[in-house]
């Protein structure tokens, strides 16, 4: 996508042919800073510290992180150490394990001297496929928006989203935002309600920044306003992203997604989840088994933003000393989800619905890469 007229992906190979460039998302929307990753340690820290975030981008960064590791240590022990290190970064988005499994399987059978090259190639494929998949999801989601647009008779289609499932959360284009970008380019008038997404404000900081750069009308609302706005009849449909979708269609996504789904269900508002196949965990049958990341209390107690002079500053917003809980994701049960937008089409959120679109994957569970005997 374009930033001030220049096209960017959220992750790319540097012109040196081996180091990896990312956008430091902790600084947005106030600073646009590109950072260079030169080791598996830096890649792992970028994921854990949320310089990069969003399920598909976490996967792509982990894939490149493995390539960086194999450049230095291509032996089996080096491979296993890198896998362990990267796996420990964030637990909920299944794209991490999916991408590591893919690169790990690709390098396992090749001689050590070819492992790094093979890993870079696979990481590049993962990145390119993500972009293509998102474009396809955009097409499928666009059909849903066109349907609503017909009813709206020229008035804006009002979409509510949560967190950031935009291009910054993926390699490019985004998942939940892909249909919005396509609809906007087709001339369908839109208005997007952007849930701010406390505690880290991915909606207010990142999604709003993305939509602003694309010229898509939007309004940031506090997370607690979502139900009220829906009740007032100001939302035609909801589209959110996914960090892990079970084979039965339950979805883990950013904390607060469940409450929005409940409100949408109560009011009969369609609630769609954009979930590429890299986000589907075919090994799980119930959302209750999805590991939910608990993050640092400081994300809740403190906020970082720009002062009037443009400096970045962090302030405490909670009562000093009060204990804090910070679960980063919640699970929306399949029964609250109208449909899953995937790169192969829109599926009912059910085992049958997903299996119909992905018979190959539903029937063939892929073993994770295990340590050598
Ligand atoms: O903690 P984050 O910022 O990594 O969480 C991101 C989300 O929950 C996104 O909605 C999800 O990854 C979908 S990204 C296309």
Same domain, 297 and 328: yes
| Residue (of 235, 193, 229) closest to 211 by Cα position | 193
How many residues are recorded in the chain? Answer: 373
CA of 324 to the centre of ligand 1 (A): 21
What single string gives the DSSP state of each residue in 261-305? HHHHHHHT--EEEE--GGGEETT-S-GGGSPPPB--THHHHEEEE
Element (H, E) at 22: strand 20-23
* Per-residue model confidence (pLDDT) at position 363: 76
- pLDDT higher at 336 or 4: 336
Residue 279: which CATH number? 3.40.50.10470
Does residue 91 line the site of ligand 1, with CB under 6 A?
A: no
- Which residues, in sequence order, are CB contacts of 239 under 8 Å at separation 6+? 141, 159, 160, 161, 165, 176, 179, 180, 272, 273, 274, 341
What single string gives the DSSP state of each residue in 238-262? EEE--SEEETTS-EEEETTHHHHHH
What's the structural domain count of the chain?
2
Element (H, E) at 43: helix 40-48
Inter-residue contact 27 to 51 (CB < 8 Å) = no
Least confident of 98-102, 145-149, 311-315, 360-364: 360-364
pLDDT, averaged across the chain: 96
**Domain-terminating residue out of 76, 94, 129:** 129
CA of 58 to the centre of ligand 1 (A): 9
Same domain, 7 and 31: yes
Same domain, 51 and 89: yes
* Per-residue model confidence (pLDDT) at position 75: 97
Same domain, 42 and 164: no
pLDDT band at 131 (very low <50, low <70, confident <90, very high): very high
Has residue 370 got a pLDDT over 70?
Answer: no
* Per-residue model confidence (pLDDT) at position 371: 41
* Per-residue model confidence (pLDDT) at position 5: 85
For 5-64, how does the pLDDT look when each residue is reduced to its tens digit (9 = 90+)?
899 999 999 999 999 999 999 999 999 999 999 999 999 999 999 999 999 999 999 999
* Per-residue model confidence (pLDDT) at position 2: 85
* Per-residue model confidence (pLDDT) at position 365: 57
Same domain, 112 and 154: no
Give, in degrees to the nearest 5, the angle at Cα 274 between 273 and 280.
Answer: 95
Three-state DSSP at 239 gives strand
**CA atoms 336, 177, 207, 9: torsion sign:** positive
Same domain, 82 and 114: yes
Nearest atom within ligand 1 for CA of residue 58: 4
- Residue 172 annotated as catalytic: no
- Which residues, in sequence order, are CB contacts of 212 under 8 Å at separation 6+? 218
Does residue 223 line the site of ligand 1, with CB under 6 A?
A: no
pLDDT band at 369 (very low <50, low <70, confident <90, very high): very low
* Per-residue model confidence (pLDDT) at position 36: 98
The tokens describing 50, both together, are: 């949320």
* Per-residue model confidence (pLDDT) at position 362: 85
Same domain, 74 and 24: yes
Does residue 56 line the site of ligand 1, with CB under 6 A?
A: yes
For 144-186, how does the pLDDT look when each residue is reduced to its tens digit (9 = 90+)?
999 999 999 999 999 999 999 999 999 999 999 999 999 999 9
Same domain, 120 and 152: no
- DSSP-assigned letter for residue 254: E
> Is the whole-model pTM more than 0.75?
yes
For 236-262, how does the pLDDT look when each residue is reduced to its tens digit (9 = 90+)?
999 999 999 999 999 999 999 999 999
* Per-residue model confidence (pLDDT) at position 368: 46
Same domain, 290 and 357: yes
CA of 57 to the centre of ligand 1 (A): 9
Q: What is the mean pLDDT of residues 224-242?
A: 98
Residue 64: which CATH number? 1.20.120.420
Same domain, 311 and 346: yes
| Residue (of 69, 62, 75) closest to 38 by Cα position | 69
The tokens describing 98, both together, are: 């999916």
- DSSP-assigned letter for residue 373: -
State the Cα–Cα distance between residues 5 and 18, nearest whole angstrom: 26
Nearest atom within ligand 1 for CA of residue 202: 3
**Active-site position among 243, 250, 281, 330:** 243
Same domain, 54 and 185: no
Strand partners, 340: 273, 347
Query: CB neighbours (10 Å) of residue 269?
Result: 20
CA of 327 to the centre of ligand 1 (A): 13
Residue 112's domain comprises: 2-129
**CA atoms 272, 277, 281, 282: torsion sign:** positive
Residue whose CA is at the smallest distance from ligand 1 atom 13: 241
Q: What is the mean pLDDT of residues 122-150?
A: 98
Does residue 90 line the site of ligand 1, with CB under 6 A?
A: no
- DSSP-assigned letter for residue 308: T
Inter-residue contact 287 to 249 (CB < 8 Å) = no
Establish if 367 belongs to a structural domain: no
Nearest atom within ligand 1 for CA of residue 293: 1
**CA atoms 158, 169, 107, 44: torsion sign:** negative
CA of 242 to the centre of ligand 1 (A): 7
* Per-residue model confidence (pLDDT) at position 373: 39
Pocket-testing residue among 28, 242, 260, ligand 1, by greatest number of atoms within 8 A of Cβ = 242
Does residue 163 line the site of ligand 1, with CB under 6 A?
A: yes
Does residue 251 line the site of ligand 1, with CB under 6 A?
A: no
Establish if 138 belongs to a structural domain: no
pLDDT band at 364 (very low <50, low <70, confident <90, very high): low
State the Cα–Cα distance between residues 364 and 161, nearest whole angstrom: 33
- Which residues, in sequence order, are CB contacts of 137 under 8 Å at separation 6+? 175, 178, 179, 274, 276, 341, 342, 343
Q: How would you classify the pairing of strands 271-274 and 2-3? A: unpaired
């Amino acid at each position: 996508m374009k930033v001030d007229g220049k096209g960017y992906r959220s992750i790319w190979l540097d012109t040196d042919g081996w180091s990896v460039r990312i956008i430091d998302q902790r600084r947005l929307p106030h600073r646009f800073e590109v950072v260079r990753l030169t080791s598996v340690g830096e890649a792992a820290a970028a994921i854990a510290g949320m310089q990069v975030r969003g399920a598909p981008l976490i996967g792509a960064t982990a894939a490149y992180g493995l390539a960086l590791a194999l450049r230095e240590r291509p032996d089996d022990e080096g491979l296993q150490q890198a896998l362990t290190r990267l796996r420990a970064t964030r637990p909920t988005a299944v794209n991490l394990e999916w991408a590591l499994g893919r690169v790990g399987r690709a390098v396992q059978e090749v001689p050590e001297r070819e492992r790094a090259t093979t890993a870079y190639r696979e990481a590049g494929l993962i990145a390119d496929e993500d972009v293509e998949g998102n474009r396809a999801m955009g097409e499928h989601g666009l059909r849903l928006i066109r349907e609503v647009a017909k009813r709206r008779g020229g008035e804006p289609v009002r979409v509510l989203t949560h967190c950031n499932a935009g291009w910054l959360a993926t390699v490019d284009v985004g998942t939940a935002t892909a249909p919005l970008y396509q609809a906007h380019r087709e001339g369908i008038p839109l208005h997007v309600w952007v849930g701010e997404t406390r505690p880290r404000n991915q909606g207010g900081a990142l999604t709003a920044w993305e939509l602003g750069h694309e010229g898509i009308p939007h309004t940031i609302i506090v997370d607690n306003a979502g139900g009220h706005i829906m009740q007032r009849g100001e939302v035609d449909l909801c589209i959110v992203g996914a960090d892990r979708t079970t084979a039965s269609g339950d979805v883990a996504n950013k904390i607060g997604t469940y409450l929005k789904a409940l409100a949408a269900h109560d009011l009969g508002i369609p609630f769609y989840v954009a979930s590429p196949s890299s986000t589907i965990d075919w090994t799980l049958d119930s959302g209750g088994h999805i590991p939910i990341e608990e993050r640092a209390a400081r994300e809740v107690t403190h906020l970082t933003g720009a002062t009037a002079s443009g400096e970045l500053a962090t302030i405490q917003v909670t009562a000093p000393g009060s204990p804090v809980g910070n679960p980063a994701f919640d699970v929306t049960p399949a029964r609250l989800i109208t449909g899953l937008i995937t790169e192969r089409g829109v599926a009912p959120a059910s085992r049958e619905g997903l299996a119909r679109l992905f018979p190959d994957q539903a029937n063939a569970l892929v073993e994770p890469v295990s340590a050598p005997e």
